[in-house]
A and B are shown apart, each in its own frame.
Chain A
Amino acid sequence: MEKELRLMKGNEAFGEAAIRAGTDGYFGYPITPQSEVMEYLMAEKPHERTGMVVLQAESEVASINMLYGGASCGKKVMTSSSSPGISLMQEGISYMAGAELPCVILNVVRGGPGLGTIQPSQSDYFQSTKGGGHGDYRLITIAPSSVQEMYDSVKLGFDLAFKYRNPVLVLSDGAIGQMMEKVEIDKQVPRHTEEEIRDKYPWATLGRYKGRERNIITSLDLDPARQERHNEALQRKYSEIEKNEVRFEKINCDDAEYIFVAYGTSARICQKSMQLARKKGIKVGILRPITLFPFPYAQVEEMAEQVKGILSVEMSAGQMVEDILLAVKGKTRVEHYGRMGGIIPSPAEVVTALEQKFMKG
């Protein structure tokens, strides 16, 4: 069968991927720069295509709690938003992590803090990878760096969310969401029937079917001993995720004397920076984390033993650089270069930063 190719915006690709992945429900609220996700879904009438529910909620607070309700029934549910909206969702995300509910949440990051700007940024790294809301929990965090990866993150997101009964965050940014690229489209995956959900997810609240014990979805346990055991089980799960689900890409690392560590839009910029640097005779490679939690600590540490220095390139004040420092354990020099407030660095300025931080004085 011939591949279906389309030219799409990142946000539209995410919407189409949602329908094709057999998603049961999307619940969202408009915010720039991700409103195209819901606009695309509404225009596509997924209710007619697959029976998928698309609902515009009254707030991001309501959206994420709609996900809680839908996920509790074993349904594939998702939402999308941008930074200020994702902040509003943190309470619900914490509840979903506590109740071990699968879902996919897209953050098309814009600059903050506060209302900030509508331009792209990567300043939500801490919020995404270190918990975000209250309590000890982690989100599986996937960072796409192309429109194709935006598309692919839906299926990967649901696979991981249901495998581990954990929310998955797709950490994109305004540039990936808005830019247009070629996308290869999957064939339609059918939505699960109620019987399939009953078989696959016996914990789902679909009604007390045929006299089974009732199912309860809650994050509450007032007994400290039981609550601690629950927390310990969550931590074991996060360790499993760290063991099994690290994803990364290495580009030109074999002979590299320096590497850029960058994800998302920054990783795209670093590809050009790498070419510019190599033209100048500086042997640069890229290590691109695809999952930010779990972070590729071992792979970064391995590179630290080989290179003279690592430059963390982020559109933030320096957030991922803390994980790089943890990985490197002092084995090589680590520096950060970043722009904030919605400014996207140019490939040339990244090369200049590399030279200034590692090769001058």
Chain B
Amino acid sequence: MTETTIKSDIIKPENLVYKKTDLMTDKVLSYCPGCGHGTTHRIVMEVIEEMGLMEDTIGIAPVGCSVLAYEFMNVDMQQAAHGRAPALATAVKRLMPHKTVFTYQGDGDLAAIGTAETIHAANRGENITIIFINNGIYGMTGGQMAPTTLPGMKSSTSPYGRDLDMMGHPLKITELVAQLPGTHFVTRQAVHTPANVRKTKKAIRKAFELQQQKVGMTFIEVVSNCNSGWKMTPVQANQWMVENMFPFYPLGDIKVDGEILKNN
């Protein structure tokens, strides 16, 4: 009885310090505990809510772990064939230039099967925002080698580690996309600490603001973990990501205002 009284005393609007955005549905996330997808979904939706864009936003879900993004993101959504999200987004934006259009894609989707769609949408300078989750692995299908898998990194199709002679090199597609004149803002972020979440959210907001100015493609890579695919605990996975992924995929802005930054 005492407990109930205390609870009802606490749950009052004036005591509210955090509230889940209405643009995330109540559906239980299909992502593994510790995965960066959930956080990234939330901040994308928070930005759309804060900017008041709900009525004019169309999101495109990929094939991969986030294939069901439309179950969680409470805006109008289309689910694309594997790798083709930028082609869908191109048409949506061309046909309705006043809408906010984003794709949400993983590294297998965006940097392997969808390389052509990614590069050409970027090169045409489509006024869309691409949110690119890079966890160096195919998560949904059970942890196979991705175009982004690090040298020596183990996966179910590189069980002895990625052998560069046999399997080729990891692809830094974000640096590649930054080279194209059609991109305006290209950045690489992460969501493993509260500070990084804030930075990523800021970058997403900037991208959506730039989209309204019709200055070309905005592209945000989020380096993320895959604790189940990497066969680690969430804490280990984040540590491994900091020690191994970040040196290869360094965080920070790559292209700002259409200019590639000097250190890139």
**Residues of A that sit less than 8 Å from B by CB:** 24-25, 27, 53, 55, 57-59, 61-63, 65-70, 72-73, 75, 77, 91-92, 95, 99, 194, 205-210, 214-220
Contact = CB atoms under 8 A, between A and B. Distances in A.
Nearest to B77: A216
A205 B58 contact: yes
Given A58-B120, A62-B117, A220-B79, A69 B88 contact: yes
Nearest to B60: A69
Contacts of A214: 70, 74-77
Interface string B50-90: 00001111101100000110100011111111001001111
7 contacts: A58-B116, A61-B84, A69-B88, A207-B76, A208-B54, A208-B76, A220-B67
Contact of B76 (A61, A63, A68, A215): A215
Given A62-B116, A205-B76, A208-B74, A69 B54 contact: no
A35 B116 CA distance: 22
B70 A218 contact: yes
Interface residues of B, number: 32
A68 B81 contact: yes
A209 B84 CA distance: 26
Contact of B91 (A25, A61, A206, A216): A25
Interface stretch (B12-20, B94-102, B151-159): B94-102
Given A218-B70, A220-B79, A62 B94 contact: no
Given A66-B91, A207-B54, A218 B60 contact: no
Contacts of A215: 76-77
Interface of B: 54-58, 60-61, 67-68, 70, 74-81, 84, 87-92, 94-96, 99, 116-117, 120
Nearest to A99: B79
B70 A70 contact: no
B43 to A, nearest CB: 19
B165 to A, nearest CB: 30
Contacts of B60: 69
B18 to A, nearest CB: 23
A66 to B, nearest CB: 4
A74 B102 CA distance: 18
A72 B92 contact: yes
B84 A62 contact: yes
Contacts of B94: 25, 53, 55
B88 A72 contact: yes
B217 to A, nearest CB: 14
Contact of A69 (B68, B70, B74, B90): B90
A50 B55 CA distance: 26
Of A55, A68, A75, A209, the most chain B CB neighbours within 10 A belong to A68
B117 A194 contact: no
Given A216-B77, A220-B68, 14 more contacts: A25-B91, A25-B95, A55-B91, A55-B94, A65-B81, A65-B91, A67-B91, A70-B91, A72-B92, A73-B92, A73-B95, A206-B99, A219-B79, A220-B67
B90 A55 contact: yes
Contacts of A70: 91-92, 95
B77 A95 contact: no
A189 B94 CA distance: 21
Contacts of A218: 61, 70, 77-79
A68 B116 contact: no
Given A66-B88, A205-B58, A24 B77 contact: no
A92 B74 contact: no
Nearest to B59: A205
A75 B57 CA distance: 16
Contacts of B90: 55, 62, 66, 69
Contacts of B75: 207-208, 214
B87 A66 contact: yes
A207 B70 contact: no
B87 A217 contact: no
A57 B123 CA distance: 12
A361 B48 CA distance: 78
Nearest to A219: B79
Contacts of A208: 54-55, 57, 74-76
Contacts of A63: 87
Contacts of B77: 205, 214-218
Contacts of B99: 206-207
